[in-house]
Amino acid sequence: MKKNYFVMLCLLILCACNKKNDQSGPNHPTPPPNSNMDGTLTLDINHPANAIPKNFEGLSFENWILSRNPEYLDPNNTVMVQLIKNLGTGVIRMGGNSSDETDWVGNGFNPNTHFDILTPANIDKLAEFARKTNWQVIFGLNLGHNNINASIDEAKYLYQQLGGNLDALQIGNEPDYFRLGYRPVSYSIQDYQAEWNTNFAAIKAQMPQAQFAGPDVSDHLGWAETFAQNNSKNINLLDAHYYNDGPATSSSIDCQTILSQDITLIPYLQGLDDASKRAGLGYRITETNSIWGGGKPGVSDAFAGTLWALDLMWSIAANSGQGVNFHGGELVYSPIAVGPDGQCTAKAVYYAMLAFKYGAAGGVIIPVNIKNSISNYNAYACSTTDGYTMTIINKEQKKDISLTVNAGRTVNSINVMQLKAPAVNSTTGITFAGAAVQSDGSFSPVSQGDVQIGKSNFVIKVPAASAVVVVIK
């Protein structure tokens, strides 16, 4: 494992092009091959892609957390509020498996079940938390029990209390797996569509202003494609889930599992992107994390989980995704942990969210062409009002990488913020931009100092098992 050390930044002049060439033309020569380099990164600044939504980042919680663990989303929990504010604007998604096992008790409705129960007081607290953090909420209604009257009543109360902070309603969680418990084994997308339509029509009849997202599937892309095709006028967002591997009980899963290339992710995202564009919608990954089943200790809650989460966010953004919600709560992979005393702590995935916020906020995706690379790393870029940013994630556990960056224009200066930890399996000691999140929830990056360049090309070294956010001006 690589020990903790400060990033070594090597800045070399690799091109003999003069200042006039740097400033006047879009075509800049790529530096000649260098045997000491692990790759060449060229920013395609002339072909900007999609914008990254300001509320891209998000958290996902089980519905029962509102009643069982109200300290998670307590507006009076100043540390939790601060941790959320550190990330800018975002989206809280309430759902998970428990959304189909949590009944609504309000205005006289009183189901006689042994399941969890939500009350108006629970929603009141959620609404106040959303207002205090200025985050929107996507809320999952119970389709498992399929009590339409209860769903109507709950939806009314949600809109009454959350108002503009309620982004959308979902009907059912992971219906593509209802056949494993909630419905017969023959349950199909057509069956789900019929139930969804009935609930949708009943709620809209009484609440025309209600907005919906769907189908919130686990991993069946075909369900999402069919649903998008049939409901383009009924939803404002196509959504689905994604997990890298699992279950968490598997003995074969380790840090390398989530640091290795994931061959299923990009085709899955491209499928969602195609389906959403054909329907005239955007898509969002409303529930995700590294290892399904609550997360693998020593993997999901370690620095490997940080690097994985940062790479995932950029992959979704680069494939036109509207956002991502990391699942958490009383789970190993939770971005924010809450101890028995109610104290909140920033965990591994949270640091990835911080790094993404500083590298992507308000940006527009810029394609990055990678050449001459055999190392396990990814690189992303976006334009901002001040210039460009690059995020480079080195998932090699024992190898530093040196990369030539061809920025496509004259670079006046760069500022490098490193995301690092003592080792890839470290669950503590994670820092970003030279700082850790404090016990009061505050975060203040340490000034790294601008390095003057004056050319269109520079070289950067990224230590093993780390990432850098490079601000290019």
Give domain status of residue 439, yes or no.
Answer: yes
Give domain status of residue 14, yes or no.
Answer: no
Statement to judge: residues 280 and 306 lie in one domain: yes
List pLDDT tens digits, range 35-70.
578 999 999 999 999 999 999 999 999 999 999 988
Element (H, E) at 345: strand 344-346
Q: Is the pLDDT of residue 110 over 90?
A: no
Statement to judge: residues 222 and 92 lie in one domain: yes
Statement to judge: residues 195 and 220 lie in one domain: yes
pLDDT bin (cut points 50, 70, 90) of residue 340 is confident
Domain assignment of residue 451, given as a range: 19-49+377-472
pLDDT confidence of residue 361: 84
Statement to judge: residues 267 and 166 lie in one domain: yes
Question: CATH code at 321?
Answer: 3.20.20.80
Give domain status of residue 365, yes or no.
Answer: no
Give domain status of residue 418, yes or no.
Answer: yes
Determine phi and psi for 254, rounding to 5 degrees.
Answer: -140, -170
Statement to judge: residues 345 and 381 lie in one domain: no
**Whether pTM exceeds 0.85:** yes
List pLDDT tens digits, range 221-275.
999 999 999 999 999 999 999 999 999 999 999 999 999 999 999 999 999 999 9
Give domain status of residue 367, yes or no.
Answer: no
Cis peptide before 31, with omega less than 30 degrees from 0?
Answer: no
Q: Is the pLDDT of residue 123 over 80?
A: yes
Give 83-86's long-range contacts (Cβ < 8 A, gap of 24+): 83/336, 83/344, 83/346, 83/350, 83/437, 83/441, 84/59, 84/133, 84/135, 85/133, 85/134, 86/354, 86/357, 86/437, 86/441, 86/442, 86/443
Statement to judge: residues 198 and 145 lie in one domain: yes
Total domains, the chain: 2
Statement to judge: residues 329 and 386 lie in one domain: no
Statement to judge: residues 159 and 188 lie in one domain: yes
Statement to judge: residues 83 and 66 lie in one domain: yes
Give domain status of residue 370, yes or no.
Answer: no
Q: Coil, strand, or helix at residue 353? A: helix
Of 360, 391, 417, the position where a domain reaches its end is: 360
Statement to judge: residues 242 and 346 lie in one domain: yes
Statement to judge: residues 222 and 317 lie in one domain: yes
Question: CATH code at 28?
Answer: 2.60.40.1180
Statement to judge: residues 36 and 64 lie in one domain: no
